[in-house]
Amino acid sequence: MTQISSQPLPTGDVLPLDPATVEGALPPTSRRLRLRRALRHRSLLVGLVILVLLVVAVLAAPLLTSADPNNQDPLAAFAAPSAEHLMGADSFGRDLLARVLYGGRTTMLASFCVVLLGGVVGTVLGLVAGYFGGTLGFVIMRLVDLLLAFPGILLALAVAAVLGSGLSNGVIAVAAILVPVYARLVEGAVVEVRHLPYVDAAVTLGSSPWQVIRRHIVPNVASGVIVLTSSWLGIASLWIAALGFIGLGVQPPQPEWGAILNDGQNYITVAWWITVFPGVFLALFVVAVNLIGDGLRDELDPTLGRT
């Protein structure tokens, strides 16, 4: 009879664990501790506070002002900030506070739609190219390289020119820039993960490719996708505003931060408030999401030091 050795395994022979399994095994207490530690991150906390205040302000626009953002009052044209118009009025006498708050809804929602659309499409392409490889992966990544060869704003302008003006077409145009960025990031991460021991073990045990991707690949690339999304949310808002500024985004009289900036560019020496207030709101939104992105990167990337 063969005897089983009772000697312990060497300390160096430690089998690698599946991060998805380890993450799922964390007790609720550990998760709460991680959340508290993340909230102690200065950049992350400041960014969250600014973002929450902006989101609450634009969502509570009907409570903060009773003015119609599209209502014109010729007698109030170029009215300076006052008790009646807290942020002044534009060249048509429209209340600027109402236009900035309601326009923030448009810009923020469009930015979220951009990263959602571009992130989903780019992540799926990256997963397919990285896991399956071969001819399919080669074709996908060469198309991604072709899109990356174009400057982002030129690609957005080209797509917007083909589709036509409008907010929905603007969202598609900006999302086209994000697709190759997500695909390249995810494909590189998948190539590093797909031949790890626990992935090979799952394949040997009969798991289908989509089960392996869902249970073992996606948890490994999720942190990078989250950080990229938080970083590109601010950039997407700038490009949405840029399309609105040049007339390829939202169409008058719908308010949007870029369109409001365009309305006030000719009157900046006469009525500075038309450009300053939407510009400040747009800058705060970009700064907030970038601070959140920096905080998430520090918390999710184990190679970086904690602050």
Helix, strand, coil percent values for the chain (each to nearest 5): 70, 0, 30
CA–CA separation, 16 and 107 (whole Å): 45
CA dihedral 218, 223, 227, 229 (to 10 degrees): 20
Of 165, 179, 212, 176, give the one whose Cα is nearest residue 193: 212
Q: Please report whether residue 250 resides in a domain.
A: yes
Phi then psi for residue 88, to 5 deg, are: 85, -170
Q: What percent of the chain has pLDDT over 70?
A: 85
CA–CA separation, 62 and 83 (whole Å): 17
Which domain covers residue 119, as residue numbers? 110-307
Q: Please report whether residue 49 resides in a domain.
A: no
pTM of the model: 0.82
> pLDDT, tens digit, for every residue of 201-250?
888 888 888 888 888 888 888 888 988 998 899 999 999 999 999 888 88
Q: Please report whether residue 60 resides in a domain.
A: no
HSE at residue 263, side-chain half, CA atoms within 13 A, is 30
Per the structure, the count of domains in the chain is 1
Q: Please report whether residue 80 resides in a domain.
A: no
Q: Please report whether residue 193 resides in a domain.
A: yes
Q: Please report whether residue 295 resides in a domain.
A: yes
Confidence at residue 10, expressed as pLDDT on a 0 to 100 scale: 45
Residue 255, domain CATH: 1.10.3720.10
Label residue 206 left, alpha or beta by phi (over 0 means left) and psi (-120 to 50 means alpha).
Answer: left
Q: Please report whether residue 44 resides in a domain.
A: no
Q: Please report whether residue 288 resides in a domain.
A: yes
> pLDDT, tens digit, for every residue of 71-97?
999 999 999 999 999 999 999 999 999
Q: What are the DSSP calls for 131-177, one per residue?
A: HH-HHHHHHHHHHHHHHHTS-HHHHHHHHHHHH-SSHHHHHHHHHHH
| Confidence band, pLDDT 50/70/90 cuts, at residue 38 | low
| Residue 42 scores a pLDDT above 90 | no
Helix (H, G, I), strand (E, B) or coil at 232: helix
